[in-house]
Structure 1
């Protein structure tokens, strides 16, 4: 079994739009169609997944091919995974010396413990395209994934680069997106199945730890961080489109705020890049649209029954407008363009700061965290006496510091750093929460006016505001006193 690098770009398509897919128009040919049934093996406890790979047997007619895929290669929007494939004659995995670097871990798990956990059953129409000196294999998969007694429809387009630069994949992706309402895909078929097994497919997606290599350059670490933010947004976006409950709206907004913070932190890589500025404009637009719904969600729990009813009606209208925006070509293309820019943008070869191509990420992260902490310390002095505008600046800085500390957390893995991280995270989260509640009070009248509700006489919320300010000042003091997990002996592995 030999290892090969698989470079794919995946696009999701609503099954209801499958009939609109004109293969000849898009790919120049109708392609061949095969029926594929793929079984993924694991233990009930997920030992294979925890080992960082996926083990499957794919049946096509009488032929069977076993594949082991690395599940945790760092991606930049593309699925860039190493895989090891071999023909097998039965329906059970074969693990031996030819099974690649994951073979030892899989054999240690015990082949007798591996049972079918996920099945994808779909028809694949596929073909090859030669363009601009490169070769792309395209495939349209239409079927379903079954796991844990649940079934999810599957309809996606895979573009695999056989030869040539990755930019060819995006050229073709834009051609497809001009004709069909496709969205960038961020999870594999195996992960779709695991989400069914875990019963998390319909749950809001929170920010996940970002696994960074301490030896990586700043230029290599940035797309890993950005992709993690994009993934969080895309996992929540279908939930916002389907039902629009408060938590997925909130988490989608958080994901875009995190992505914009990642851009802000790494701006020395692409300062002056017009494409970066254009993408940030699109992200700011989507963040604001999500914010309009989220602001109403913050008011509704505190409203009396009459006002609450009117606010819920206003939320329905705001949600409908948000869903229309998310369904628009503008929003769908923005996500594809972000992935394209992360993958083949000019900053990758000609960054504004050439040193960041070779500078390792650890000192960059430490300096960025120091600068944000210093800014927050300066802006937050005498917090209770600050006006709403100054407090808002403190809140934004606290958000950036929290997101940056989460982005770079895995760079400082020592036990001492972990203890300091926990205390630091608690302090910055508490400060952010209290300042967020104060901001909601400041926004109340403006939000009511925006949706056409007379706010009546100003409500000072004196007692509540005073209490929140006391808590915020205490959280600020705790944060300033917290040890910096990124400095001193704590940075040692």
Structure 2
């Protein structure tokens, strides 16, 4: 049995022509090209898929080999899976050729063998380089072809870096050199996963809201930090894949991608004291950069709502048609699909994702820690959670949201601060009784929604400057009424929220 350790990238079409030059400085022991045809098998009820195993037959130069890949792990774009390979003489899978011990206890090999059927295939040209870096051998494979399931086809443009032997850090260093040139995006799903989806045996990616992470009082700080980072990165990549896969309006996918990025960023800040010497400080800058690159999403969401159903929100305005035309012109100025794809394939984006993946894989933040930091990492997370939420609450209470009165502009200025506060609460929320935390958070969530509704009027205020005097006067009067209504509702919610005792204070005092 071998354990496959590889980094998978989806690549832009020009990477193939640039790759030989990028590899010139490396010791290339072998370079060849081969055509690979693969057929993937499972039962109609996905008996292999249910145990997270994949079975294929690969044909190459007249020779055949069957491979089973078993359940493994995946962090970012790094995939690790145990695999067994057996030569074949006929193009028909035989599970009995694999070692018996690899199957789960209740797995009926005989029954599954009788029910195997081909589900989909992959057919691609592979350019392969075998590199030696110090004592490490790495196979680099550029694949171009397609996945096919019945009449359904999907293009393959992938680059895989597989550790043959040696130090996995060399794998990441090679990847970093390649990513610097741009055009590479870490891939969270394999060819087989794409094939199952194309064949209709697994659902396409679905939009997911960011939910609280299940935590136990016995979890220590290190476990919690790791779980939050994995959750954030997974949420981020899931919605990146979903945005690229789904046709049509995909704004909500990008909003959730940003939520995943925010969770990763907030987690690094929450646990910064424990691992301050082992977090690449550039990540914080890069995460801020990425969130800035996506800051236009708020404006896009506002415009999408205002223009939905031919401007239904504006139906009571006589100047609706003029306003709608101006709003649609604003939409045309937003980043388009090509610009977003360029972001996801950019060098800075790729290196950020690769760096996080490497750090999560190595789990070496303990090396060189002071004794006090080691103790902090091993301590139950409850006390840290209480401190972090108390600090965040203190900042919120001493911000404009704690002042006697606020106007619309001041409310809008607090949106980012309130989002960060609510994200911290989400990180630790399951440590506390559900009724207590929901009762406390609901008024603040209402306030955030109210601020977002208030901010949604901002594009309309800009539009009024483009209208004639009569239309501008009508729009401004309408806006004033809307703003007044929203401000009154916000003040009621804020008064209620400020009177409530934080749930973590009540919980720790019991």
Establish whether TM, by shorter chain, passes 0.5. yes
What's the Cα RMSD here?
A: 4.4
Instruction: Tell me the CA shift for residue 332 of structure 1.
Output: 2.9
Instruction: Tell me the CA shift for residue 138 of structure 1.
Output: 1.7
Instruction: Tell me the CA shift for residue 173 of structure 1.
Output: 1.1
Partner of 1:399: 423
Other structure's SS at 2:295 match: helix
Q: Given that residues 42 and 115 in structure 1 are in contact (C-alpha distance below 8 angstroms), is that contact kept between their aligned partners in structure 2?
A: yes
Shift of the 212–251 alpha-carbon distance from structure 1 to 2, 3 Å rule, reads: same
Other structure's SS at 2:258 match: helix
Instruction: Tell me the CA shift for residue 256 of structure 1.
Output: 0.9
Moved more, 300-309 or 130-139: 300-309
2:196 to 171, 194, 197: 194
**Following superposition of structure 1 onto structure 2, how do residues 335-350 of structure 1 map, counting pairs within 5 Å?**
335-343=353-361, 347=365, 349-350=367-368
Moved more, 240-249 or 471-480: 471-480
Moved more, 464-473 or 149-158: 464-473
**Following superposition of structure 1 onto structure 2, how do residues 259-298 of structure 1 map, counting pairs within 5 Å?**
259-271=264-276, 276-298=280-302
Supply the distance in 2 between the matched residues of 1:211 and 1:129 (Cα, whole angstroms). Answer: 43
Q: Given that residues 133 and 164 in structure 1 are in contact (C-alpha distance below 8 angstroms), is that contact kept between their aligned partners in structure 2?
A: yes
Supply the distance in 2 between the matched residues of 1:451 and 1:348 (Cα, whole angstroms). Answer: 55
Shift of the 380–216 alpha-carbon distance from structure 1 to 2, 3 Å rule, reads: closer
1:13 to 3, 11, 14: 11
Shift of the 19–392 alpha-carbon distance from structure 1 to 2, 3 Å rule, reads: closer
Other structure's SS at 1:319 match: coil
**Following superposition of structure 1 onto structure 2, how do residues 10-409 of structure 1 map, counting pairs within 5 Å?**
10-15=8-13, 17-22=15-20, 25=24, 28=28, 31-60=31-60, 61-71=62-72, 73=73, 75=75, 77-90=77-90, 91-95=92-96, 98-107=99-108, 110-111=111-112, 112-147=114-149, 149-196=151-198, 197=200, 200-201=203-204, 204=207, 207=210, 218-219=221-222, 222-223=225-226, 225-237=228-240, 245-271=250-276, 276-302=280-306, 304=314, 305=320, 306-320=322-336, 324-343=342-361, 347=365, 349-351=367-369, 355-356=373-374, 359=377, 363-364=380-381, 366-374=382-390, 379=396, 387=406, 388=411, 393-405=417-429
Partner of 1:443: 455
1:461 to 483, 488, 492: 483
Supply the distance in 1 between the matched residues of 2:215 and 2:49 (Cα, whole angstroms). Answer: 19
Moved more, 281-290 or 381-390: 381-390
Q: Given that residues 40 and 54 in structure 1 are in contact (C-alpha distance below 8 angstroms), is that contact kept between their aligned partners in structure 2?
A: yes
Supply the distance in 1 between the matched residues of 2:186 and 2:464 (Cα, whole angstroms). Answer: 36
TM-score, structure 2 as length reference:
0.74
Q: Given that residues 121 and 144 in structure 1 are in contact (C-alpha distance below 8 angstroms), is that contact kept between their aligned partners in structure 2?
A: yes
Instruction: Tell me the CA shift for residue 152 of structure 1.
Output: 1.8
Shift of the 437–106 alpha-carbon distance from structure 1 to 2, 3 Å rule, reads: same
Partner of 2:310: none
Supply the distance in 1 between the matched residues of 2:173 and 2:94 (Cα, whole angstroms). Answer: 38
Shift of the 439–218 alpha-carbon distance from structure 1 to 2, 3 Å rule, reads: same
Partner of 1:491: none
**Following superposition of structure 1 onto structure 2, how do residues 404-443 of structure 1 map, counting pairs within 5 Å?**
404-405=428-429, 430-431=442-443, 433-443=445-455
